[in-house]
Amino acid sequence: MWLDETINHYELSHEVGKGGFATVYEGRRKVDGLRIACKKIDRKKLEQANIHHHPSYGNRRHVLPSLRSTVMFERLKAEITIHHQVKHRNIVELLNYFDDDKYVYLILELCSHGDLEHYLKEKKTLCESETQTIVKQVVDGLVYLHNHGIIHRDIKLSNLLLTETFEVKIADFGLAKKIPLTREQNNETICGTPNFISPEIANRIPHGFATDIWSLGILIATLLTGQSPFDTDTVHGTLSKVTHEKYELPTTFSEEAQHLVNSTLRKLAESRPNIIEIRDHPFFSKDFSRSSQSNNYKFALWGPAVDRSHDSGFAENIGQQRSTLSTESNSTSISKGAYSTHLYS
């Protein structure tokens, strides 16, 4: 239940992030001193948003201001509605929201160690042990979301935040969509970040939970190598690699890591494992406790390994997996302007 609050119930200290429509501040709740993050969204900027870049409107440049305002606020309302419904240890909690004449305020759980994007820039690459620990938490959060019929659609480094104890939490529900579990493939909206979006989104075809699985595979490969396997200098080049070409994984990847990434980056969405199958993959039960990989990083190791060699034919198939995956040729006519993170970030 929402508390009856205004911004006067909080004391904001310093800016910790800024986007086109919002600024995020660290602060505290006056009544009990709880440390929070406050996402302060500028209403005027939302109303003035030039939404001809919004994928739902293609290249329509002349949209009535009232319609423009309605569209943007409906998106914000949808974000708040979905985020308010989710409660999980690996999802940033939306504590409250309210507004005034100038701003909409989202009061969020504070994640004081920033995001994985900055963490990876500092570390350059991560070992498999640390990647296992981080990604397992993301998977646990996605299991919860998918079980509740929610696609996140924007899993990427900057949307994965780190708490004071380096627990990983999924953030930013601006592109999230709730869909009926019985009718998964019913979204055709262009959304997301080029390096992390799936082929089905790039090609404007219906997509569902499998698009989060693709982004998860990109996340794993990026943590282990320091860059996205489809990264180029341009949005068009990146999308071309996603829909047309090959990616390569280093031969230094373990068999488990290669199998996991290759299975998540299958071109056909229906060929990818679901989030429960990902959770049970042998990569996440591999024991790194006696490995040199387990030293010198900030995330706590998970428990002992479990023998899953009999699961899903993994032992038979893993040797047949190649570290290079060829995707089918499939053209895309998406322009660079259509791809950006959600408009009020």
Listed by start position, the domains of the chain span 8-51+67-109, 114-184+203-284
Distance linking the first and last C-alpha atoms of the chain: 25
- pLDDT tens-digit map of 189-209: 544 555 666 556 655 666 689
- The CATH superfamily assigned to 114-184+203-284 is Transferase(Phosphotransferase) domain 1 (1.10.510.10)
CA atoms within 13 A on the CB side of 178: 12
Question: Across all residues in the chain, what is the average pLDDT?
Answer: 77
Mean pLDDT confidence for 140-154: 96
- The CATH superfamily assigned to 8-51+67-109 is Phosphorylase Kinase; domain 1 (3.30.200.20)
Residues 6+ apart with CB under 8 A from 331: 243
Q: Map residue 178 onto helix, strand or coil.
A: strand
- pLDDT tens-digit map of 292-333: 555 556 654 433 333 333 334 433 333 333 232 223 223 222
What CA–CA distance (Å, rounded) separates 228 from 241? 11
pLDDT value at residue 340? 28
Integer CA distances (angstroms), 101 to 11, 88, 113, 174, 333, in order: 19, 32, 32, 22, 40
Q: What tokens does 262 get?
A: 């290759």
- pLDDT tens-digit map of 235-250: 666 666 666 556 788 8
Backbone φ and ψ of 91, nearest 5°: -130, 130
Mean pLDDT confidence for 177-188: 64
154 among known catalytic residues: yes
Cβ(251)–Cβ(323) under 8 Å?
Answer: yes
- pLDDT tens-digit map of 70-102: 777 888 999 999 999 999 999 999 999 999 999
Q: Which of 140, 154, 172, 212 is catalytic?
A: 154
